[in-house]
């Protein structure tokens, strides 16, 4: 027997207040990005003035381009290695150093970013590596592959293994069984992992600040230094563009998971 609804008035109130708290500030920011007035707080009518300003700001454009390149490359490498890590964790029962392996994969998830950033910088300095695009990409890959591993592993864990074993009983070797049977089934999680890695990299300020060199700032670094000097309406426009980009990413990710759920499998939450 099912109860019709266990939702009390208190539940509804806390839910709507919570969601309002989460969304109102972002909504306000988006609205004010179309404000014609120089003063962030005075409404001067709708205008695209600050978007125009952004597209004429060479330094900002360069930083945005750098961020995008880093995000795409690090997300791609992180997805490859992170998926391998997930496979190793969920399919390789026991191997030497498994505890250390999973420890290393989970630690960056909770570790303060200042520590990760600092330690990577010291490594790059010791290796005498020129700091810039590649050092930031490596740093972001290290962080985001852990997230990819977690997302893909949760999908692998919920998968019925007998499908793969059936393929092997029918004569496929383990690798072919994995590629032909398991890989398509975990594809949505891999896509979601890539998206997550992409947005995390696009978002990161602290690790990028430690691992980048002079003249190759990412967008968050630029925004951060601008914001410290005071509120500028142009930042509202940039932020809105980033939000729009991320919205597109989320739509793609949810389409990917819908595609998989129409195949009769429920998708991973992230």
- Torsion, CA 151, CA 154, CA 158, CA 160, rounded to 10: 80
Question: By the 8 A CB rule, do 193 and 79 touch?
Answer: yes
Is 129 a residue that touches another protein (CB under 8 A)? no
Is 119 a residue that touches another protein (CB under 8 A)? yes
Work out the angle at residue 136's Cα, subtended by the Cα atoms of residues 131 and 142, and round it to the nearest 5 degrees. 130
Length of the chain: 270
Closer residue to another protein, CB minimum distance, 58 or 96: 96
Q: Looking at 51-59, 68-76, 141-149, 183-191, which segment touches another protein (CB under 8 A)?
A: 141-149
Please tell me the count of residues contacting another protein according to CB under 8 A. 94
Question: By the 8 A CB rule, do 201 and 132 touch?
Answer: no
Among positions 58, 93, 171, 264, the unique one binding another protein when judged by CB under 8 A? 93
- Chain positions 33 to 52 lying near another protein, rule: CB under 8 A, are 39-41
Is 179 a residue that touches another protein (CB under 8 A)? no
| Burial grade of 187 (CB within 10 A; 0-12, 13-18, 19 or more) | middle
Closer residue to another protein, CB minimum distance, 58 or 228: 228
Q: Looking at 44-52, 55-63, 183-191, 241-249, which segment touches another protein (CB under 8 A)?
A: 241-249
Closer residue to another protein, CB minimum distance, 69 or 213: 213
Whole-angstrom distance, CA of residue 82 vs CA of residue 103: 14
Is 123 a residue that touches another protein (CB under 8 A)? yes
Distances (CA, A) of 199 to 41, 148, 246: 29, 12, 7
Among positions 49, 63, 82, 137, the unique one binding another protein when judged by CB under 8 A? 82
Helix (H) or strand (E) holding 35: none
Closer residue to another protein, CB minimum distance, 225 or 263: 225
Contacts of residue 129, Cβ cutoff 8 Å, sequence gap at least 6: 135
Is 171 a residue that touches another protein (CB under 8 A)? no
- List, in sequence order, every beta strand (DSSP E) within 16-170: none
Q: Looking at 48-56, 58-66, 93-101, 183-191, which segment touches another protein (CB under 8 A)?
A: 93-101
Q: Quote the least distance from Cβ 48 to another protein, whole Å.
A: 19
Is 58 a residue that touches another protein (CB under 8 A)? no
Whole-angstrom distance, CA of residue 150 vs CA of residue 192: 11
Identify which of 245, 230, 213 has the alpha carbon closest to the alpha carbon of residue 72: 245
Closer residue to another protein, CB minimum distance, 191 or 235: 235
Q: Looking at 54-62, 68-76, 168-176, 183-191, which segment touches another protein (CB under 8 A)?
A: 168-176
Is 122 a residue that touches another protein (CB under 8 A)? yes
Determine the 3-state secondary structure of 4 from DSSP. Answer: coil
Among positions 60, 149, 197, 237, the unique one binding another protein when judged by CB under 8 A? 149
* DSSP, residue by residue, 137-166: HHHHHHHHHHHHHHHHHHHHHTS-THHHHH
- Chain positions 194 to 223 lying near another protein, rule: CB under 8 A, are 196, 199, 202-203, 205-206, 209-210, 220, 223
């Amino acid at each position: 027997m099912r109860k019709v609804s266990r939702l009390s008035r208190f539940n509804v109130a806390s839910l709507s207040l919570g969601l309002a708290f989460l969304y109102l500030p972002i909504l306000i920011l988006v609205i004010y990005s179309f404000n014609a007035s120089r003063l962030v707080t005075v409404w001067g009518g709708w205008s695209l003035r600050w978007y125009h300003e952004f597209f004429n700001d060479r330094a900002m454009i360069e930083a945005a381009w750098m961020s995008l390149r880093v995000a795409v490359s690090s997300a791609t490498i992180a997805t490859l290695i992170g998926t391998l890590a997930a496979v190793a964790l969920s399919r390789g029962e026991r191997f030497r150093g498994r505890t250390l392996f999973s420890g290393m994969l989970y630690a960056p998830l909770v570790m303060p970013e200042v520590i990760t950033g600092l330690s990577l910088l010291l490594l790059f300095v010791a290796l005498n590596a020129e700091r810039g695009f590649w050092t930031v990409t490596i740093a972001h890959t290290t962080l985001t592959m852990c997230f990819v591993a977690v997302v893909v592993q949760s999908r692998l864990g919920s998968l019925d293994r007998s499908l793969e074993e059936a393929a092997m009983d029918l004569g496929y070797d383990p690798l072919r069984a994995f590629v032909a049977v398991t890989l398509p089934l975990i594809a949505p999680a891999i896509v979601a992992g890539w998206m997550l890695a992409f947005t995390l990299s696009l978002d990161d300020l602290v690790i990028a600040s430690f691992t980048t060199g002079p003249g190759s700032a990412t967008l968050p670094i630029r925004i951060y230094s601008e914001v410290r000097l005071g509120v500028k309406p142009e930042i509202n426009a940039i932020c809105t563009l980033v939000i729009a980009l991320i919205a597109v990413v989320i739509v793609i990710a949810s389409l990917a998971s819908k595609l998989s759920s129409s195949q009769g499998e429920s998708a991973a939450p992230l």
